[in-house]
């Protein structure tokens, strides 16, 4: 497939209600937040995981759309597939001395693993398959307003052992955000896409992933997460026509007029405005 020819940036908005969008394991799984502003945070790694999971569901058993970073996968075994397919013998921690063969290995990984050609990967392990810089990069998501994490105790009616019949039945705690609207910025490089083979079909799959990934990620902690807005800026060439930060400034998210000081509890509490005074050579599309 032909790689994309245009640079893109995008603004993605999603929200959570009574859930934990991204717990911090170093803080007892509390929702991540900026300690200076109390705004919520969701890491790029968390969002990439959801994209990978969606692609794995939609493209199950489809050649060229395997997922490199799978749950409980052994990365050396993923690399070994490239060596076996190309009938190349591997040396521990080394790429083949033949530069063409080394490139062929890395190209095979890009062609067969969606997340390698999309996000890139460092594959310099015991079985070395090279290193790839991906065309898609995501920043951390940040909530529009400060969040107030809540700690909820949970109980159960049953006990495991008869001796525990009279004991308290509290079994743990959950951490939730009553409501939070999060904003994340994304970057797509056409020049890096040519190196990995990231195509127009891959790009459309990425948009579908951002649209639908929360629909297939339900859990008790993430029961009500939703994709709310995707604004895409397209440059008319590979190098781009304007700095990304100036394009991001064109998307304004604010609380609606007439608020009474109460905290936001729904997406309709916000107004989103996309300015149309675009730099020359840049177009904008509101995907949803």
Name the DSSP class of 238: S
Give the pLDDT confidence of 68-84 residue by residue, as tens digits.
Answer: 999 888 999 999 999 99
> Rounded CA gap, 185 and 48, in Å?
13
User: Which is it for the CA torsion 70, 71, 75, 79, positive or negative?
Assistant: negative
Mean pLDDT along residues 90-115: 92
Top pLDDT among 71 and 228 is at 228
Backbone angles phi and psi of 60, in degrees to 5: -55, 130
pLDDT at 193 over 70: yes
> Rounded CA gap, 60 and 245, in Å?
36
Confidence of residue 203 (pLDDT cuts 50, 70, 90): very high
| 25-39, 57-71, 92-106, 252-266: the lowest-pLDDT one | 252-266
């Amino acid at each position: 497939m032909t790689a994309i020819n245009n640079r893109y940036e995008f603004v993605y908005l999603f929200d959570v209600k009574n859930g934990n969008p991204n717990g911090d394991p170093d803080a007892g799984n509390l929702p991540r937040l900026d300690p200076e502003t109390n705004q919520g945070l969701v890491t790029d790694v968390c969002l990439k995981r959801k994209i990978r999971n969606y692609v794995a569901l939609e493209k199950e058993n489809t050649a060229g759309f395997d997922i490199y970073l799978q749950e409980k996968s052994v990365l050396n075994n993923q690399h070994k597939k490239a060596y076996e397919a190309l009938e190349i013998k591997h040396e521990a921690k080394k790429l083949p001395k033949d530069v063409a063969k080394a490139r062929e290995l890395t190209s095979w990984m890009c062609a067969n693993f969606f997340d390698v050609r999309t996000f890139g990967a460092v594959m310099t392990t015991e079985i070395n398959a090279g290193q790839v810089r991906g065309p898609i990069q995501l920043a951390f998501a940040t909530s529009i307003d400060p969040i107030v994490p809540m700690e909820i105790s949970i109980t159960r009616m049953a006990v495991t052992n008869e001796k525990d019949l009279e004991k308290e039945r509290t079994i743990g705690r959950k951490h939730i955000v009553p409501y939070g609207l999060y904003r994340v910025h994304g970057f797509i490089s056409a020049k890096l896409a040519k190196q990995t083979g990231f195509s127009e079909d891959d790009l459309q799959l990425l948009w579908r992933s951002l649209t639908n990934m929360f629909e297939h990620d339900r859990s008790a902690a993430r029961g009500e997460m939703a994709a709310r807005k995707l604004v895409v800026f397209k440059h008319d060439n590979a190098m781009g026509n304007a700095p990304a930060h100036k394009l991001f400034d064109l998307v304004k998210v604010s609380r609606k007029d007439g608020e009474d000081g109460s905290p936001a509890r729904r997406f309709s509490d916000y107004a989103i405005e996309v300015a149309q005074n675009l730099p020359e050579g840049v177009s904008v599309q509101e995907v949803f």
